[in-house]
Amino acid sequence: MKVKTAKTAGFCFGVKRAVDRVYELIEEGVSPIYTLGPIIHNEEVVSDLEKKGVSVIQEEDIPGIRKGTVVIRSHGVGREVYEKLKAAGLSFVDVTCPFVLKIHRIVERESRAGKQIIIFGDPDHPEVKGICGWCEGSCTVLRSREETENFVPDPDKIPCVVSQTTFNYNKFKELVEILCKKRYDNNVLNIDNILNTICN
């Protein structure tokens, strides 16, 4: 049998940074450690961390935890999760990927400025849920051609478009084209309002 080695393998920068930080916390003797969702989509790593005392929890578990350090993974979380952690008196280590944090800051700022936030991505993906959690008021998540065609922009608001970091670039371009055809008097989508936030 021939075995070919892939040119690249391993974790992306954001996930590697998050996993490394959890191992550092273990070395520092921090205990107990919890991660909000699995730190990586890799069962071997998650199970190794479990053996070392790191438990995976979900957002709804936060109020029941009395002590410990919670790690916010690279996908990031919405503002209300930080509030829940503070209300529970838990310390936390935030390893949200800087590229995701950048999107949080964009949607926070632009939604506060009164713009209509449109996110291209999967509404069930934790990263997208986290991004939605930084929008003042509502936002719209579009993931398909059909959804974008059926979407009716708010005629009174300037739109601001961002994308899930792992969204397909060709799909992004396709959906942008559809959106750009939807023009209103005061609501023209221009290049300044469309931010390609897909990760390299």
Stretch touching ligand SF4 by CB under 6 A, among 63-71, 80-88, 94-102, 173-181 = 94-102
Burial 47-83 (b: 16+ CB within 10 A, else e): eebeeeebebbebeebeebeebbbbbbbbbbbeebee
The reply to whether 169 sits near ligand SF4 by the rule CB under 6 A is: no
Tell me the closest approach of the beta carbon of residue 171 to ligand SF4, in angstroms. Answer: 16
DSSP string, 50-88: HHTTEEEE-GGGGGG--S-EEEE-TT---HHHHHHHHHT
User: What is the closest distance, in whole angstroms, from the C-beta atom of residue 45 to ligand SF4 in the complex?
Assistant: 15
- Residue number with CB closer to ligand SF4 (12 or 46): 12
| Residues numbered 7-46 forming contacts with ligand SF4, rule: CB under 6 A | 12-15
User: Any bridge partners for residue 136, and if so which?
Assistant: none
State which of residues 39, 70, 95, 100 lies at the interface with ligand SF4 (CB under 6 A): 100
Closest separation in Å from C-beta 120 to ligand SF4: 14
Distance in angstroms (rounded) separating the CA atoms of residues 12 and 75: 12
How many residues are recorded in the chain? 200
Q: Which is nearer to ligand SF4, 15 or 39 (CB)?
A: 15
Give the integer Cα–Cα distance in Å for 67 and 80. 19
Of 44, 60, 110, 127, catalytic: 127
Considering the rule CB under 6 A, would residue 74 count as an interface residue with ligand SF4?
A: yes
Long-range contacts of 182-186 (CB under 8 A, 24+ apart): 182/151, 182/152, 182/153, 184/153, 184/155, 185/155, 186/155, 186/156, 186/158
Chain-centre distance for alpha carbon 156 = 28
The least distance separating ligand SF4 from the CB of residue 10, rounded to whole angstroms, comes to 11
Binding residue for ligand SF4, selected from 82, 166, 176, 187, defined by CB under 6 A: 166
Identify whether 27 is a catalytic site residue.
no
Closest separation in Å from C-beta 106 to ligand SF4 = 14
Q: Is 199 in the site for ligand SF4 (CB under 6 A)?
A: yes
80, 132 contact by CB (below 8 A): no
Task: State the catalytic residues.
Answer: 127
Residues that bind ligand SF4 (CB under 6 A): 12-15, 74, 97, 99-100, 165-166, 199
